[in-house]
């Protein structure tokens, strides 16, 4: 019997209580944490006073060994692919500019317009850094077919949970070493746990970009959301930058940057530190790392868009540039899938076929609305948004398509549903909600970075992975959005 028809093995309540105790204590000890929720009645204190553990899975998730290895290998091809797409201005203009998605999507239009302005002035970013995460689900439409791994999406901005995921992998290793999971399965052995060094890997990408900028004393700027709860995932990167590379970080929101950012005569980005009362000297920025800016909600007004463009008009490395953010749109994923398009960016020896093999079918709603309605039960519809909660699934599709103005169809992509094996369960633990057993679906993410610019060789690496697991009656997947828990890989 396959592990995918009967996972996890039986565990007693007593054993689960012990695993929960060890897991949550480990999580609280190792920064698998969020800041507590805030609300209008309960605004955040000026400085954090407490944290809660992030949602976690008690038992790691089985992933076939060869598929996991493939996904890691594939990341190198994806890094190169998206670097090249981001540098292909006319390709992106055609899809995302006027006449394309910009005509019907204000968010994409604002980003594209800002980017175009910079190009017209002759200030495209000299160097782009991508900290990527390519997401996959196991795919097995029927039990007799072999399991494969299919891509959900490729993230080019604010790819999160790299740091927390490394810690969760450590937590599962600790649970194996300390309890052996009470012998419930011989698979639960340390030898089946792949290593996870995502923090170091992502930080190496940032440090490489910092060195390429060439001013050792400069700081890296993290552009962050106000009231961000997932701060520890970001802070761990900050601390590692400092501890391994001696590089310092400054964190500011768009609202703050509206007043603190300035450009020198040579377009070096200089930031005034806040509050001004601290009388700290302004700092030069080597790399702008956006952990905000992926969603319209991150731009409170047109000033914030102007600030984004202002930052990108500097000499600092952009992680990501607007071009790279646009390259990560679902629409681009769909266009790449059309016959011959991917192959314009990636040669056979660079892995074009393996990349294609990782895809399920996608098409644009403007050319295939009828098919989308007819096959609704097998499909998901996606707009050009990130961060979870934006998609339309299955039976909701026909009505949605019926109500969508015709000209807006170009901004929606229809995608076949990936069909994970059905027999997998998980124990999900959330602070304040205890532990639940659920039938579960797990999404594997592989991290990579690429540093590139016009006329330079792309430098890139695969740097780590994560697993997010959700109850299988939930369509969406984000951890931050509250749908998923953090998990790790058990090679089988």
Catalytic residue set = 133, 153, 155, 160, 330, 382, 386-387, 468
Q: Binding residue per annotation — 295?
A: no
At 252, which helix (H) or strand (E)? strand 249-252
Alpha-carbon distance 24 to 201, whole Å?
26
The smaller minimum CB distance to ligand ADP, of residues 141 and 170, is found at 141
* Residue 320: cis peptide before it, omega within 30 degrees of 0: yes
Q: How far apart are CA 172 and CA 61, in angstroms?
A: 10
The backbone torsions φ and ψ at residue 143, rounded to the nearest 5 degrees and listed phi first, read -60, -20
Three-state secondary structure call for residue 389: coil
Question: Is 386 one of the annotated binding-site residues?
Answer: yes
CA dist 109 and 102 (Å) reads: 4
415 binds, among ligand ADP, Mg ion, none (CB under 5 to 8 A by kind): ligand ADP
Query: 443 or 461: whose CB is closer to ligand ADP?
Result: 443
As measured in angstroms, the least distance from the Cβ of 32 to ligand ADP is 20
Q: Parallel, antiparallel, or unpaired for β 249-252 and 489-491?
A: unpaired
Integer CA distances (angstroms), 345 to 83, 136, 333, 336, in order: 10, 21, 13, 9
Kindly state the smallest distance separating residue 380's Cβ from ligand ADP, in Å: 5
Residue 480 assigned to a binding site: yes
Minimum CB separation of residue 139 from ligand ADP in Å reads 9
Is 159 annotated in some ligand binding site? yes
Minimum distance of ligand ADP from residue 442's CB (angstroms) = 10
Containing H/E element for 289? strand 283-290
Q: Are 388 and 477 in contact (CB under 8 A)?
A: yes
Nearer to ligand ADP, 260 or 358 (CB): 358
Residues that bind Mg ion (CB under 5 A): 153, 155, 386
Determine the length of the chain: 492
Pick the closer one to ligand ADP by CB: 108 or 317.
Answer: 108
CB 10 within 8 A of CB 184: yes
Which residue's Cβ has the minimum distance to Mg ion? 386
Which spans of this chain sit near ligand ADP (rule: CB under 6 A)? 135, 137, 152-153, 360, 380, 382, 386-388, 390-391, 415, 417-418, 443, 475-478
Min dist CB 393 to ligand ADP, Å, is 8
Find out whether 331 is annotated in a ligand binding site: no
Among Mg ion, ligand ADP, none, partner that 380 touches (CB below 5 to 8 angstroms by kind): ligand ADP
Residue (174 or 483) nearer to Mg ion, CB: 483
Question: Does 294 appear as a known binding residue?
Answer: yes
Count of C-beta atoms within a 10 Å radius of residue 222: 24
| CA–CA distance, 329 with 320 (Å, rounded to integer) | 13
**Known binding positions for Mg(2+):** 153, 155, 386
- Output the known binding site: 133, 153, 155, 157-160, 228-230, 234, 291-294, 330, 382-391, 393, 415-418, 443, 468, 470, 476, 479-480
């Amino acid at each position: 019997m396959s592990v995918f028809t009967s996972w996890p093995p039986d565990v007693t309540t007593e054993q689960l209580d012990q695993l929960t105790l060890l897991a949550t204590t480990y999580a609280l000890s190792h920064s698998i944490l969020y800041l507590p929720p805030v609300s209008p009645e309960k605004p955040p204190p000026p400085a954090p006073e407490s944290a809660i553990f992030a949602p976690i899975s008690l038992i790691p998730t089985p992933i076939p060994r060869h598929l996991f290895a493939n996904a890691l290998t594939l990341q190198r091809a994806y890094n190169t692919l998206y670097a090249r797409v981001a540098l292909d201005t006319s390709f992106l203009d055609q899809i995302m500019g006027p006449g394309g998605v910009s005509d019907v999507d204000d968010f994409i239009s604002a980003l594209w317009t800002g980017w175009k302005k910079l190009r017209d002035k002759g200030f495209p970013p000299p160097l782009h850094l991508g900290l990527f995460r390519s997401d996959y689900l196991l795919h097995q439409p029927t039990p007799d077919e072999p399991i494969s791994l299919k891509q959900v999406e490729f993230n080019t901005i604010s790819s999160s949970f790299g740091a927390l995921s490394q810690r969760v992998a450590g937590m599962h290793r600790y649970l194996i070493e300390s309890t052996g999971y009470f012998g419930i399965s011989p698979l639960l052995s340390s030898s089946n746990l792949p290593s996870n060094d995502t923090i170091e890997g992502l930080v190496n990408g940032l440090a490489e970009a910092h060195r390429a900028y060439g001013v050792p004393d400069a700081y890296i700027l993290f552009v962050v959301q106000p009231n961000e709860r997932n701060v520890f995932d970001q802070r761990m990167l900050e601390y590692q930058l400092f501890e391994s590379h001696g590089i310092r970080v400054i964190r500011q929101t768009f609202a703050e940057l509206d007043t603190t950012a300035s450009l020198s005569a040579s377009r070096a980005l200089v930031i005034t530190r806040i509050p001004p009362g601290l009388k700290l000297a302004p700092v030069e920025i080597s790399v702008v790392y956006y952990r905000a800016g992926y969603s319209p909600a991150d731009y409170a007004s047109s000033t914030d868009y102007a600030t984004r463009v202002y930052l990108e008009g500097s000499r600092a490395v952009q992680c990501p540039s607007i071009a790279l953010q646009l390259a990560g749109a679902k629409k681009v994923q769909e266009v790449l899938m059309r016959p011959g398009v991917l192959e314009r960016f990636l040669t056979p020896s660079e892995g074009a076929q393996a990349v294609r093999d990782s895809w399920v079918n996608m098409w644009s709603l403007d050319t295939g609305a009828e098919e989308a309605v007819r096959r609704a039960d097998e499909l998901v519809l996606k707009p050009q948004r990130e961060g979870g909660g934006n998609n339309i699934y299955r039976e909701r599709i026909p009505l949605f398509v019926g109500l969508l103005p015709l000209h807006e169809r170009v901004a929606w992509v229809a995608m076949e549903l990936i069909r994970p094996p059905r027999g997998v369960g998980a124990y999900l633990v959330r602070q304040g909600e205890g532990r639940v057993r659920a039938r579960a679906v797990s999404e594997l993410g592989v991290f990579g970075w690429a540093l590139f610019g016009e006329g330079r060789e792309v430098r890139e690496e695969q740097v780590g992975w994560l697993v997010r697991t959700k109850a299988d009656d939930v369509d969406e997947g984000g951890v931050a959005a509250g749908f998923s828990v953090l998990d790790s890989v058990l090679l089988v």
